[in-house]
Amino acid sequence: VPQLDEGDIALHAMRVPGTGIEQAVDLQKRLEQVIMQYPQVNTVFAKTGTAEVATDAMPPNVTDTFVMLKPIDEWPNPALSKAEFVEQLERDLQNVPGNNYEFTQPIQMRFNELISGVRADLGIKIYGD
């Protein structure tokens, strides 16, 4: 099944469990500084942790980051595909310590969460002892 290109990127920045909110915010700022260096990026925003009563609760060590891209015709190299750009971004973000990443798209991320309760394309649930 072909994947719809939403035009933007969503990524989960996952940190060590127990990471405090102050440290998570500091790590997120570093992450966003790297992302904003790309001329293809229009803006970046994020949410770190949510209340346990929310429908999509997250601990403070998890951040949803939304990367809004410029139209491809405004990119320095319009021949670069979005997939190639994401690969390049993923390689560069590996240099930001303290984070593990999962790349997806904003609507796709929410859709996966609603269907399976898991933010990834594949989720494994184990029941029993």
Domain count, the chain: 1
Apex CA 91: angle with CA 18 and CA 88, to 5°?
A: 135
Distance CA 120, CA 102 (A): 8
8 Å CB contact between 24 and 49: yes
Distance in angstroms (rounded) separating the CA atoms of residues 117 and 129: 21
Q: pLDDT tens across 36-48, in order?
A: 999 999 999 998 8
In a domain, 65, yes or no: yes
pLDDT tens-digit series, residues 92-118: 998 888 888 888 877 666 666 666 555
In a domain? residue 15: yes
> Residue 87 sits in a domain of what CATH number?
3.30.70.1430
Contact (CB, 8 A) for 59 and 110: no
pTM: 0.75
Domain limits for position 28: 9-116
Res 68: pLDDT: 94
Residue ranges in 37-126 assigned as alpha helix (H): 82-93, 106-116
